């Protein structure tokens, strides 16, 4: 096992038994290891508001006899990340475009299959019930996870009210946008490696406010699982330098379908109202292509005016 994988695995395995200060160090290492690699124990402690001895004990608890050994593992971590392009060239460099397509799609199929086998059905049911019963739902996913959060927000907003997408680069604004969250609400945090510290802090805040917290992440050792009421796991390894989000998107899609089936009356009512709005205000005429009599509805409104004049 590579040193990079080894240090992350050690952190994730021991995360549940760590103290609050150790969990703070663990989250910082996983999210900011390029910065952490250049820090002494004293500097890291000062940056995180913990003592130097706490940082040293953290390294020792992971199996490193001295702090320099721990730091060397972080160096290997950074080297492993920055060799990503070399790995792509080694794996795909001599393949044709069609072979690359087949290889990437096959890898994504395997991730979906692995997710199907390991997803906790009980946690999935709990997530559906929680999303249905919550007065307000807050959703957050940053960086490469932002499209996943937007997808869930778009569809939830179609058939239930009070759905909020937290989307900001400021930690202060994050708390401002969810300042009213309470025990009758739900927070959905979506994060995959590299994990987002801002999403983690938002989940901690929601948990402190006694809101139900749903985590959509890749591992039971993920720091996102620390504050979640239920955790939905989806495999999201890196195919190349790009995160594969196919399996997480499938899990979110399944959530939306299950929610629709669980609350059919409410869904039908809201969707019927949406259809009436679309029809009354001709929302789609100039935005999407439809087909009437095997011809696309391009400039349909102008053609309709001409026909009316005749």
Q: For residue range 167-181, what is the model confidence (pLDDT) as tens digits?
A: 877 778 889 999 999
Kind and range of the H or E run holding 165: strand 163-166
Q: Which pLDDT does position 139 carry in this prediction?
A: 96
Judged against a pLDDT cut of 80, whether residue 302 lies above it is answered with no
Overall pTM surpassing 0.85 (yes/no): no
Asked whether the predicted pLDDT for residue 93 surpasses 60, the reply is: no
Of residues 94 and 4, more confidence is placed in 94
Measured over the CA atoms of residue 70, residue 71, residue 77 and residue 83, the dihedral's sign is negative
CATH class of 119-262: alpha beta
Q: What is the pLDDT of residue 6?
A: 62
CATH 1.10.10.10 domain position(s) in the chain: 3-82
Q: At a CB cut-off of 8 Å and minimum separation 6, what does 47 contact?
A: 28, 39
Q: 73 versus 21: which is more confidently predicted?
A: 21
| Rounded Cα gap, residues 199 and 166, in angstroms | 9
pLDDT at position 186: 96
Whether residue 202 is predicted with pLDDT greater than 60 in this model: the reply is yes
In CATH, the architecture of 3-82 is Orthogonal Bundle (1.10)
pLDDT tens digits for range 204-259: 999 999 999 999 998 877 888 888 989 999 987 654 455 678 899 999 999 999 98
pLDDT value at 5 more than 60: no
- When comparing pLDDT for 282 and 159, which is higher? 159
Lowest mean pLDDT among 15-24, 124-133, 169-178, 272-281: 272-281
Confidence of residue 109 (pLDDT cuts 50, 70, 90): confident
The residues facing 232 across adjacent strands are 216
**In which residue ranges of the chain is CATH 3.40.50.10490 found?**
119-262
Identify the pLDDT of residue 249: 93
pLDDT, one tens digit per residue, over 147-162 is 999 999 998 988 788 9
CA distances to 8, 189, 242 from 4, rounded to whole Å, are 7, 25, 18
DSSP letter for each residue of 220-231: TTSGGGGS-SEE
Statement: residue 4 has pLDDT above 50: no
């Amino acid at each position: 096992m590579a040193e990079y994988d080894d240090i992350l695995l050690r952190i994730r395995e021991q995360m549940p038994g760590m103290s609050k200060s150790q969990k703070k160090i663990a989250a910082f290492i996983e999210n900011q290891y390029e910065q952490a690699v250049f820090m002494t124990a004293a500097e890291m402690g000062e940056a995180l508001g913990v003592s130097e001895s706490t940082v040293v004990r953290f390294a020792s608890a992971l199996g490193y006899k001295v702090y320099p050994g721990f730091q060397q593992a972080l160096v290997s971590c950074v080297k492993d990340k920055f060799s990503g392009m070399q790995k792509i060239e080694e794996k795909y460099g001599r393949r044709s475009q069609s072979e690359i397509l087949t290889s990437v799609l096959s890898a994504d199929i395997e991730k979906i299959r692995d997710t199907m086998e390991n997803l906790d059905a009980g946690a999935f049911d709990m997530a559906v019930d929680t999303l249905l019963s919550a007065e307000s739902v807050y959703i957050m996913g940053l960086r490469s996870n932002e499209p996943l959060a937007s997808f869930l927000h778009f569809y939830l907003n179609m058939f239930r009210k009070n759905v909020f997408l937290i989307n900001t680069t400021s930690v202060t604004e994050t708390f401002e946008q969810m300042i009213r969250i309470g025990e009758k609400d739900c927070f959905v945090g979506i994060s995959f490696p590299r994990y987002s510290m801002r999403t983690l802090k938002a989940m901690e805040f929601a948990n402190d406010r006694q809101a139900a917290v749903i985590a959509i992440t890749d591992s039971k050792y993920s720091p996102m699982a620390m504050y979640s009421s239920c955790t939905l796991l989806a495999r999201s390894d890196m195919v190349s330098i790009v995160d594969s989000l196919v399996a997480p998107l499938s899990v979110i899609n399944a959530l939306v379908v299950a929610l629709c089936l669980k609350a059919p009356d409410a869904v039908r009512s809201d969707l019927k109202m949406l259809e009436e709005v679309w029809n009354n205000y001709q929302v789609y005429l100039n935005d999407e292509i439809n087909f009437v009599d095997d011809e696309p509805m391009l400039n349909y409104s102008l053609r309709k005016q001409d026909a009316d004049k005749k």
